[in-house]
Chains A and B, each alone.
Chain A
Amino acid sequence: MKVRIRSPKDFYAGALFVVFGAGFTWQSGSYPMGTLQHMGPAYFPFVLGLLMTALGVLVVLRGLTVDDPSRVRLSLRPLFFVVAGAVIFALTVGPLGLVAALAGLIFVSALGGPEFHFREVIILWAALTVLALAIFIYGLSLPFKVWPV
């Protein structure tokens, strides 16, 4: 019998589970295991990691045996820009401050939407910056750097 992916959703989910399960099992190997009575830091995660790997294998097997033709389709464009927006915010908020970081976040994430109107995004950035400053800096007085200098 030829092995073939019959249910992509199960197959890929299972594969992801196996990767996570194996990763955690491998990681817990580097800590003391202890005994059943005195469990070390590795005991519980090691058992869970093995359990997860085993469950993942079961899901993979189901992906190879149960028919479910629905495809997995990821929308990479919105995913990329929304994730990139957060990463840019994280990189800039420390050195450049909130106002600049918000500009990066809003402009980059707006590129992931169905339409992009430059003027609209400028207005959005201005409005959200004022709102964020009012709530978080003046309202909750959080210790954020606001301006680049």
Chain B
Amino acid sequence: MNELLQHLSLGFSVALGLMNLTYCFIGVLLGTLIGVLPGIGPTATIAMLLPITFKLPAVSALIMLAGIYYGAQYGGSTTAILVNLPGEASSVVTCLDGYVMAREGRAGAALAIAALGSFFAGCVTTIVIVLFAPVLAGVALQFGPVEYFSMILLGLIAAVVLAHGSVLKAVTMVVLGLLLGLIGTDVTSGITRLNFGLRALADGIDFVVVAMGLFGYAEIVNSLERREQRMVTPSGLAKLWLTWEDFRRSWPAVLRGTALGSVLGILPGGTATLSSFAAYTLEKKVSRDPSRFGKGAIEGVAGPESANNAAAQMSFIPMLTLGIPPNSVMALMIGAMMIQGIAPGPQVMTARPELFWGMLASMWVGNLMLVVLNLPAIGIWVKLLKVPYRMLYPSILVFCCIGVYSLSNNPLDVVLIAFFGLLGYVFTKLDCEPAPLLLGFILSPMLEENLRRAVLLSRGDVTVFFTHKISLVMLVMSALLLVVIIAPVVRKKREETFQEN
């Protein structure tokens, strides 16, 4: 306990330093700013802003990126409520009741509960992470290459299972990601491989390029296709507070949403989107009068908004303790750590305690900033929505291109984002989700290295993966997940969860 307090005070002393406080604020602000804009999700936002953090010290860079992440989440719900446009996928369900509330003149209440619910969920999950991350990291320190291989495999399979759409296609996208991740120099032999004769690919493809192309570029073409939607001027912003009745209805929903989001968020592949959909379904189930949903029920905003924030924050656990990203945003955080020269994994907590605890403390600080500074600024964010998309997307492209070019002053990187944008767009048109590809791409070198080391140490005996107990458990879990998802009953249920409306 005493040790825990020491860690926490170290964390807060880092997070509350003037410089980090400033970067946290800039992150939250930029995240909200871009999260408000429809068509750019948190992954694209982080990919786009990543190059700005390269020059910062590691702690500040990660604090700022985490801030961008919460900000983007929060900005997404603001537009969902005010103009019925979800800024990102996890706030799609917020539209259902939030926008109805706004039309009834209760936009203030909806925005307030979204912010407060998220803040509550953020506080709870920060405590959970502080309590459990060291335990998990301690276990992970005992892991050898065998366990790591099986764990990464489990992570990849879980990501497939929890993605929407066809499982077969998602598995293939992971494999494609794994292959793309192997392009470049093979660390063990020093041989340049899989570069298809192109010298530009000799050093491999930067993950920023892949992420920006697949998410940023492809999303722009998708949005252009949908043409410009007329923006509705929101009303009823005057009262920014909850009535007693609102409060009475929403606090149990906030509790349920937080619990659900925490459980789903720690699972690999358990995205904020899935949690918000699940929370909405849950609220509808436990409500005495389910017919109120879709007609401005405040629980329909409170539950999902708490759940998506809880899940977003819990997904930091596998990233921080195991070095394994459970979703594409965490994959980008891993990439950012590597650029800063930090090898992700359980040793980060002991080797760089100021980084680990500083980042945890900054989560709480960042959430507080969202409530205190952002809630009053909603009017400004809404004005942003009046900027027409025809002026917005060239601006996004400018940041993508300069950002990627700044990685190594190599113009071919810019051509590559266009290529991945093209690929991402075509894949989304063919109902293949790009997120599993990015996850495979990031984890590929780790997966291969651990596989090679494991078989080398066992003298070519592949049964080690089944004789090591922890590894066996993880492989059995992977197999179960695959069996379960192929079972017709579960498949139907999964489709229902994603198609809730």
Q: In the complex, are the beta carbons of B414 and A90 less than 8 A apart?
A: yes
Assembled-state Cα–Cα distance A10/B429 (Å): 11
Q: In the complex, are the beta carbons of B431 and A83 less than 8 A apart?
A: no
- Point out the residues of chain B lying under 8 angstroms from A49, CB to CB: 179
* Complex: chain B residue closest to A55, CB-CB: B172
A5 at the interface (CB under 8 A from B): no
Interface residues of B in 440-488 (CB under 8 A from A): 448, 451-452, 455-456, 459-460, 462
A69 at the interface (CB under 8 A from B): no
Q: Contact string, B304-347, partner A, CB cutoff 8 A, digits 1/0?
A: 00000000000000000000000000000000000000000000
Assembled-state Cα–Cα distance A8/B191 (Å): 40
Assuming the contacts A37-B455, A106-B398, asked whether A75 and B176 have C-beta atoms less than 8 A apart, the reply is: no
- Point out the residues of chain A lying under 8 angstroms from B393, CB to CB: 82, 109, 113
Assembled-state Cα–Cα distance A93/B410 (Å): 10
A100 at the interface (CB under 8 A from B): no
Secondary structure type dominating chain A contacts: helix
* Complex: chain A residue closest to B220, CB-CB: A82
Q: In the complex, are the beta carbons of A72 and B430 less than 8 A apart?
A: yes
Interface residues of B in 367-416 (CB under 8 A from A): 389-391, 393-395, 397-398, 400-402, 405-406, 409, 411-412, 414-415
- Point out the residues of chain B lying under 8 angstroms from A64, CB to CB: none
Q: In the complex, are the beta carbons of B390 and A115 less than 8 A apart?
A: yes
Q: In the complex, are the beta carbons of B422 and A52 less than 8 A apart?
A: no
- Point out the residues of chain B lying under 8 angstroms from A90, CB to CB: 401, 405, 411-412, 414-415, 418
Assuming the contacts A41-B186, A78-B224, asked whether A48 and B179 have C-beta atoms less than 8 A apart, the reply is: yes
Q: In the complex, are the beta carbons of B455 and A28 less than 8 A apart?
A: no
- Point out the residues of chain A lying under 8 angstroms from B417, CB to CB: 86
Interface residues of A in 93-135 (CB under 8 A from B): 93-94, 98, 102, 105-106, 109-110, 112-116, 120-121, 124, 128, 132, 135
Assembled-state Cα–Cα distance A13/B498 (Å): 22
B188 at the interface (CB under 8 A from A): yes
Assembled-state Cα–Cα distance A130/B401 (Å): 16
Q: In the complex, are the beta carbons of B193 and A74 less than 8 A apart?
A: no
Q: In the complex, are the beta carbons of B176 and A52 less than 8 A apart?
A: yes
Q: Contact string, B185-210, partner A, CB cutoff 8 A, digits 1/0?
A: 01011010110100000000000000
Q: In the complex, are the beta carbons of A45 and B391 less than 8 A apart?
A: no
- Chain B proximity of A62: nearest CB distance (Å): 7
- Chain B proximity of A51: nearest CB distance (Å): 6
- Chain A proximity of B438: nearest CB distance (Å): 16
- Point out the residues of chain A lying under 8 angstroms from B188, CB to CB: 39, 41
Q: In the complex, are the beta carbons of A83 and B422 less than 8 A apart?
A: yes
Q: Contact string, A27-41, partner B, CB cutoff 8 A, digits 1/0?
A: 110011001111111
Residues of A within 8 A of B (CB): 9-10, 12-13, 16-17, 20-21, 23-24, 27-28, 31-32, 35-42, 44-45, 48-49, 51-52, 55-56, 58-59, 62, 72-75, 78-79, 82-83, 85-87, 89-91, 93-94, 98, 102, 105-106, 109-110, 112-116, 120-121, 124, 128, 132, 135-136, 140, 142-144
Residues of B within 8 A of A (CB): 52, 55, 166, 168-169, 171-172, 175-176, 178-179, 182, 186, 188-189, 191, 193-194, 196, 217, 220-221, 224-225, 227-228, 389-391, 393-395, 397-398, 400-402, 405-406, 409, 411-412, 414-415, 417-418, 421-422, 425-427, 429-432, 448, 451-452, 455-456, 459-460, 462
Please give me the 6 A-B residue pairs with the lowest Cβ-Cβ distance, nearest first.
A37-B460, A78-B224, A86-B418, A41-B186, A90-B414, A90-B411
**Extra A-B contacts (12), CB below 8 Å, given A41-B188, A124-B394, A140-B406:** A24-B179, A45-B194, A55-B171, A55-B175, A75-B225, A82-B397, A89-B401, A105-B401, A106-B397, A113-B393, A120-B391, A121-B394
